Structure 1
Amino acid sequence: MNIMAHEENITIQYCFPDNNSSCRKEVRTGPVYIFIFILLSCISVCTVVLNLLVIISISHFKQLHTPTNLLILSLAVADLLVGLFLMPVKILELADSCWYLGKVGCYISPVINFLSISASLFSLIVIAIDRYIAVSDPLLYSTRLTVCKMSVIIIIGWSGSLFYAIVFLYFNGYFFRSQVKCFGECVLYVKQSWVIVDLVIVFVTPCSVIILLYSIIFKIARRQAKAVRAVSNGVSKSPSDKVLNTSETKAAKTLGIVIFVYLTCWIPYFISSLTVENVTSVSIVWIVFAWLIYINSSMNPLIYAILYSWFRESVRCILSCRIFESSSSRINLFLERF
């Protein structure tokens, strides 16, 4: 009798009560979820702020208008899209299972998702290639990679990322919306074959290229450091030795951080994707591991900018409002190359 009374008191909520084909609503509440929402919101805000600082710095200060920094700017724009659009949408989805942004929003959201992530990975790869050319052939670097050439490369990369996003969604039937079961649902079902394709294009290939190039860069840097030491006739504890040791240590730390963060953020998602028959965008596994990928967008500005003195100096200028001075774009930031 008590069980029947309890069942009678249960009310089923719907996303759109006035619509007969509305999906059921699953509202997540409680202290644990509130903590998660606050934490993820803070991550989203930090991602936006950090990447905005990078974008403003490189765009405003003329001293930073270099091919390498254009790549960092491209990376920051891609990561800004993640923090500004994807993270808030995913937070709303986690709080409430219903989709309230309409059909257009449902179409656009995954496109921005794949575009930003693909463009971010593209920027990481080209940054590795750029650094490889700079280290292996420093005398010809300025002629081989100019600002104009790098701008064209970035445009091609973003266009390719958009093309891949559209192709991926098209062949998974997303634009046909035949997968929608009820009103208020926005779910992406990924075919197992495309999980493999995505694994190769978005993870295996970029990961292999980045690890290979940074390994070569580190070896070249060590070889050059040994050559300079040999010229110094073996004088121990000389100023040049200290500088070289610092350079080697910084290169090793940067290499280690880049690879560690990249693998940490991406491996769990693809391992989970390969162990299930169907991957959906609302499964709890996908949500957790997708957030790891998004967090990579928060780490990128820390790895590629905050480690360098020019960024710290530019942030001081921005926060002190010195950028509003007429000649602020020509301030010497003591630009430090990779």
Structure 2
Amino acid sequence: MLNRGMTDADKQAIEYCFSNNNLSCIKEIKPQVECIVLYTFISLASVLTVFLNLLVIISISHFKQLHTPTNLLILSLAVADLLVGLIVIPLMGIRYIETCWYFGETFCSLFPFILYTLVSASLGNLVFISIDRYIAVKDPLQYSTRVTTNKAVFCIILNWLCSSIYSIIVLYDAIFRNENPITCYGDCIVTVKFEYVLTDLIVSLVAPCSVIISLYGQIFCVAKYQARLINSVTNASKSEKKAAKTLGIVIAVYLLCWIPYYIVSLFPGYDSNESAVINIMCWIMYMNSCMNPLIYALFYRWFRTSAKYILSLKIFEPSSEYLSLFPEVNDQ
């Protein structure tokens, strides 16, 4: 049916996603050099994202000194980033390069759910991190009683559960009502209603970002006030402020990577599969998952030390979980 009226030369020049299927989509042929460069980039991005976030996960999970409420929230964020590197980056890379979907109709509907859940969970983690840092700087004397490990675990579970439920609600029609009929095999287009896009903009960007920016504004106001009030600041107070500053950089980088995508997605008639602009914005978003561990490496002595222990296999030694990661309080 698709080959009617085509000459032999045309058939040879056209490549299909599935050569043995008459209903296959036509595959866009990219230059070989371009494909090699793109596959190299995708592979490096995926491996680097998984490797760096795995270092964060192993560090916080293994070393007893890192079992704090703040680090548990960082661990949850690292899990979301690792899944982006393990699932999202490779699949979206193959889809972009090959211009075909090779992973089946079922996973075509499931993949947006995974993506939405990871995005929502990441932002939820950042909200809880902001609340944690606000309490630590605002009320340091009561922090240990107000913020506990059990409360952090509860917030993490609640965050992932709410993110999953929210993703199901937003994608319900696309997943369960099959409102995106496949026109040819190798195609995967999941359309979200524009009113859901606006809702997602408010729920997944405007509301949480307003909370985050407001909390960090108050954090730095409090820090500035304390610096004026007290000439000699304690080491503990310095540590809390440094942690707040570092995590503030993480949040700022996150917002810079995600806000452009949401702005572009609101323009009428944009096509996530064909628009070069939206593709660039998407890849900026995905690469954010690789940036957080790099920020930790630059600003956290404990991450650099724990990474050395992991890479040198010292974590397999007896009682390695009790190794000291904070030789000097000021370097925390």
Could you say which TM-score interval applies, normalised by the shorter chain? Answer: 0.7 to 0.9
Q: CA RMSD in A?
A: 2.9
Deviation at 1:11, TM superposition (A): 2.5
Greater mean deviation of Cα atoms: 301-310 or 21-30: 301-310
Question: Is 2:288 aligned against 1:286?
Answer: no
Distance in 2 between the 1:5 and 1:30 partners?
A: 25
Deviation at 1:41, TM superposition (A): 2.3
User: For residue 254 of structure 1, what is the aligned residue in structure 2?
Assistant: 246
Distance in 2 between the 1:54 and 1:244 partners?
A: 23
User: For residue 178 of structure 2, what is the aligned residue in structure 1?
Assistant: 177
User: For residue 235 of structure 1, what is the aligned residue in structure 2?
Assistant: none
Question: Is 2:331 aligned against 1:329?
Answer: no
Q: Is the 8 A contact 1:191 1:278 kept in 2?
A: no
User: For residue 319 of structure 1, what is the aligned residue in structure 2?
Assistant: 311
Distance in 1 between the 2:320 and 2:10 partners?
A: 69
Q: Is the 8 A contact 1:281 1:287 kept in 2?
A: yes
TM-score by length of 1: 0.86
Deviation at 1:300, TM superposition (A): 1.9
Task: Label 1:8 to 1:53 Cα distance change in 2 as closer, same or farther (>3 A).
Answer: closer
User: For residue 220 of structure 1, what is the aligned residue in structure 2?
Assistant: 222
User: For residue 100 of structure 1, what is the aligned residue in structure 2?
Assistant: 102
Greater mean deviation of Cα atoms: 198-207 or 126-135: 198-207
Distance in 1 between the 2:113 and 2:293 partners?
A: 23
Distance in 2 between the 1:269 and 1:88 partners?
A: 20
1:217-239 Cα distance to aligned partner (Å, 9 max, x none):
1111111122221xx6xxxxxxx
Distance in 2 between the 1:292 and 1:249 partners?
A: 29
Structure 1: gaps (5+ residues): 233-239
Task: Label 1:248 to 1:156 Cα distance change in 2 as closer, same or farther (>3 A).
Answer: closer
Deviation at 1:169, TM superposition (A): 1.1
Task: Give the number of aligned pairs.
Answer: 324
Distance in 1 between the 2:310 and 2:195 partners?
A: 47
1:74-124 Cα distance to aligned partner (Å, 9 max, x none):
000000000011000011011111111112322332121111111111111
Question: Is 2:263 aligned against 1:267?
Answer: no
Q: Is the 8 A contact 1:222 1:248 kept in 2?
A: no
1:115 to 114, 117, 125: 117
Q: How does 1:1-338 map to 2 (within 5 A)?
A: 8=10, 11-171=13-173, 173-179=174-180, 180-229=182-231, 254=246, 257-277=249-269, 279-281=271-273, 283-304=275-296, 306-334=298-326
What one-letter code is carried by the residue in structure 2 that aligns with 1:301? P
Q: Is the 8 A contact 1:51 1:77 kept in 2?
A: yes
- The 3-state SS of whatever aligns with 1:275 is coil
Q: Is the 8 A contact 1:225 1:244 kept in 2?
A: no
Task: Label 1:34 to 1:276 Cα distance change in 2 as closer, same or farther (>3 A).
Answer: farther
Deviation at 1:216, TM superposition (A): 0.9
Distance in 2 between the 1:6 and 1:106 partners?
A: 33
Q: Is the 8 A contact 2:136 2:240 kept in 1?
A: no
Distance in 1 between the 2:12 and 2:192 partners?
A: 34
